[in-house]
Amino acid sequence: MTTPNIDWAQAARDPRFVEMVEKKRKFLFSLMAFSVVFYFLLPLGAAYAPGLWATKIFGVVNFGLLFAISQFIVAWSIAFIYTRRANREFDAASEALKRDILAQAGQRA
């Protein structure tokens, strides 16, 4: 599919585009950074804090097991948080932008 009439430089400078991309970038970066740090706490803790990992929380269930299970819950939560924001905010913003950019390209044609 070709879209020859689009002025990409103008679209990239559109304040709404700049705002959306900036917001998205910050949001994605913080989620990504959190998930990486949280994940590597698992091998680091298991290797360097075996005492904490072996501490029993209830019954035979220890901290290490709960922390490993929390990794699954955190991963799913990050996916949920991102999807919710993308569905509510980013999708609408990019749809609106797409319409305007295509309309402008149509005028030039």
Partner 1 sequence: MKKTQGGALALAAAAALFASPALAQSAGVVAPEFRWLTFLVFAAIIGLTMFVTYRAASKVKSASDFYTAGGGISGVQNGWAIAGDYLSAASFLGIAGLISIYGYDGFMYSVGWLVAYITVLLVIAEPCRNIGKYTLADILAYRNNPKATRIVGAISVIVVSTFYLTAQMVGGGVLVKTLIGIDYKISVVTVGMLMLAYVIFGGMVATTYVQIIKAILLVIASIVLVLLVWSQYGFFGGFLENAVNDPKIQARVVQLLGDKSAGMTATELGQRFLEPGLYFTSPLDQISLGLALVFGTAGLPHILMRFFTVPSAKEARVSVIWAMAIIGGFYVLTLFLGLGAAMKVGAPNILLADRGGNMAAPILAQYLGGGADSMLGNFMLAFVAAVAFATIVAVVAGLVLASASAIAHDLYVGVIRGGSATAEEQVKAARIASLVVGAMAIVIGIAAEGQNVAHLVALAFAVAASANFPCILLTLFWKRCNTGGIVLGMIVGTLSAILLVLASPNTEYPNTVRNNANTAIATQTARIETLNAELATAADAARQAEIRTAISSSEAAIASARANIARVEGRTTNLLGLSEPLIGLRNPGIISIPLGFLAVILGSLLWRDPRSEALWDEVYVRQNTGLGAAAASKH
- Contact with partner 1 (CB under 8 A): which of 5, 19, 26, 36? 36
SS (H, E, C) the chain: CCCCCCCHHHHHHCHHHHHHHHHHHHHHHHHHHHHHHHHHHHHHHHHHCHHHHHCEEECCEEHHHHHHHHHHHHHHHHHHHHHHHHHHHHHHHHHHHHHHHHHHHHHHC
Indicate whether 43 belongs to the interface with partner 1 (CB under 8 A): yes
- Contact with partner 1 (CB under 8 A): which of 9, 103, 107, 108? 9
Contacts with partner 1 by CB under 8 A lie at: 1-3, 6, 8-9, 11-12, 17, 20-21, 24, 28, 31-32, 35-36, 39-40, 42-44, 46-48, 50, 53-54, 58-62, 64-65, 68-69, 71-72, 75-76, 78-80, 82-83, 86-87, 91, 94, 97-98, 101-102
